[in-house]
Amino acid sequence: MKKVVVLNTKGGCGKTTITTNLAAYHAAAGYRTTLMDYDPQGSSTRWLSKRDESRPRVNGVAAFERNTRVTRSFQLRAPLDTEYLFVDTPAGLDPHSLTEITRNAHAVIVPVLPSDIDIHAASRCIADLLLIARIDRREERIAVVANRARKNTRVYYALTRFLNSLEIPFVATFRDTQNYITCFEQGIGIHEVQDNRVLRDRKDWQPLLDWIHSRKANPMQAAFQGTIRSSETVS
């Protein structure tokens, strides 16, 4: 299983949009896909509820809910046949919770909007991932995407300069368009729309998809999954 976490401690940067579109793409591509929603607003879970049963299946785990009848680890368990696990995270996330949420992740995506406030917030978030969650920069498990961006603007150039200065991969830029809102309302992803008006948007996603698919699961994750499967067999 490959675990992909979409994370930024600032709200409104498009974490749910990116998470749901990644889940929809991989399900449509034939991967057994699970979407885990940590956000108390439950936006990803609401997107799943809108998804028609005729669409490729995306399993859902409502991690923001608390069920006292089962252990937390059981509640957060994805189906064992999951090939891709996409994790949507809340705004205002306690930096010390980063370690738990990013544990065994083979990719962490940080969306950022082109504004001074968002650039500053992204800088702090990435610093916490490196220093608190102890993700080694050399592993290249963190990538940044610019969301709702308008190229050829002064603030976009400022954003690209900032991202390049971090020595963190800056892999994709998504434009500001109503297409994503329309997709959310239907419980689908941009790649499931058969309309020439989204061709540009689908093309924008390819660098991010290529980056995700090039990531290798780290040894600790592989050992963790092996332990789970062994325990399931014994039980």
pLDDT in tens, the chain (235 residues): 999 999 998 888 999 999 999 999 999 999 999 999 999 999 999 999 999 999 999 999 999 988 777 787 877 889 999 999 999 999 988 877 899 999 999 999 999 988 888 888 888 899 999 999 999 888 889 999 999 877 778 878 887 888 778 788 889 999 999 999 999 999 999 999 988 989 999 999 999 999 999 987 654 444 444 433 333 333 3
Distance of CA 61 to the CA centre of its chain: 14
Whether pTM > 0.85 for this model: the answer is yes
Pairing of strands 170-175, 2-6: unpaired
Q: According to the model, what pLDDT value does residue 167 have?
A: 81
Residue with token string 């991202």: 163
**CA distance linking residue 57 with residue 234, whole number of Å:** 29
Tell me how many degrees the CA angle 148-130-38 measures, rounded to the nearest 5: 55
- CA distance to 113, 123, 124, 163, 204, per residue, from 120 (Å): 10, 5, 7, 11, 24
User: CATH assignment of 2-218, given 3.40.50.300, 1.10.3720.10, 3.90.1300.10, 3.40.50.2300?
Assistant: 3.40.50.300
Residues 6+ apart with CB under 8 A from 184: 16, 17, 20, 47, 50
**CA distance linking residue 142 with residue 156, whole number of Å:** 20
Q: According to the model, what pLDDT value does residue 154 have?
A: 82
Contact 114, 158 (CB under 8 A): yes
Q: According to the model, what pLDDT value does residue 229 have?
A: 39
**CA distance linking residue 100 with residue 134, whole number of Å:** 11
Contact 87, 36 (CB under 8 A): yes
3-state helix, strand, coil split of the chain in percent (to 5) is 45, 15, 35
